[in-house]
Structure 1
Amino acid sequence: MSAKSKLTFANVKTMQRPKKQARISSGCACEKEERKHCDHKDRAVEAVQDAGKELSELFGQLKCEETAERLVRAIRCRDARTIQKIIGCDCRVVHFFCTHNSDCVKICCFFGRRGEVSVSFDICIKRKFDCCRGGW
């Protein structure tokens, strides 16, 4: 055989490799440095800021001893209406529950134009020791 042999191919079909599809993200296409210049504004960011402001005011009013006493009494008596007056219209009393030595209320708050952010938390009040009944 000579080193200069010629090979010929007949009826050869070539197959194309499938093209890889680019992933399209649903978020903003701006670079990290330029995100603040995007046209698309995330409503959740405003809602989180609103939540911070409203919750700060809610817990700030508990600095008043009279308001704190009303809240404690309402939790122990399971008085949702009084708690609702204290926490305001952005928040709702979800339910009451007890632990071994506490009375608790679960509260859920919604913030943003369309409720983009929800925050839920529990407030538990330790039961008073009742010496007449011999326990908590």
Structure 2
Amino acid sequence: MSLRAKIKFSRVQVSRRPSSGARASARISSSKCCDPVESVQEAGAELSELFGRLKNEELAAKLIYAIRCHDCRKLEQLLGCNCRVVNFFCTSCADCVRICCTFGRCKDVTISFTICVERSRKCCSGRSRGC
């Protein structure tokens, strides 16, 4: 049995936090101001690597299972330390998760995106779905 499912990405947003909101310790410790262009380039490279790893069928299956079971801890392990789960939600035909990642030395670039996977007929063991 194949674990392949349709994955759809929607509402990918890139935003830059204003530098005035940076912590004083971050400003003092860096020898030059943070460059948002470098941060965006870093974000592109890291996200490219993350989505490239999803070519591995086993890793993709783990990601899909974690989304369907609303397993926040497992998702954050798969995504890496600079990404966190914002929330899980369901549509009429899909289970979805909203993810937020920060990039750059000063964490001045934030990228949020949604991953939706086709709903499974099997329910996760012992998990209330809430949708």
Match of residue 112 from structure 1 = 104
* Partner in structure 1 of residue 51 of structure 2: 59
Identity of aligned residues (%): 55
Structure 2 contact 85–97 (Cα < 8 Å) conserved = yes
The amino acid that maps onto 2:92 is H
Structure 1 Cα separation of the partners of residues 77 and 110 of structure 2: 19
Residue segments in structure 2 that go unaligned for 5+ positions in a row: 1-31, 123-131
The structure with the larger Rg is 1
Change (3 A) 1:85 1:42: closer
Write out per-residue CA displacement over residues 18-57 of structure 1, whole angstroms, 9 at most, x where no aligned residue: xxxxxxxxxxxxxxxxxxxxxx876100000000000001
Residue 47, structure 1, aligned to residue 4, structure 2 = no
Report matched runs for 1:35-114 at 5 Å: 43-114=35-106
Q: Secondary structure at the match of 2:59?
A: helix
Aligned-residue offset at 1:100 = 1.0
Runs (4+) of structure 1 exceeding 2 A deviation are: none
Structure 1 unaligned spans of 5+? 1-39, 131-136
CA distance in 1, matches of 2:71, 2:120: 18
2:4 alignment counterpart: none
Does the alignment pair 1:124 with 2:92?
no
Structure showing the higher strand proportion among its residues: 2
Q: How does the TM-score come out when normalised to structure 1?
A: 0.63
Q: CA RMSD in A?
A: 1.6
**What is the TM-score with the length of structure 2 in the denominator?**
0.66
Tell which has more relative contact order, 1 or 2 (C-alpha 8 A, sep 6+). 2
Aligned residues between the structures: 91
SS in 1 for 2:102: strand
Q: Deviations over 1:84-119 (max 9, x none)?
A: 111001111111011111100000000011111110
- SS in structure 2 of the partner of residue 46 of structure 1: helix
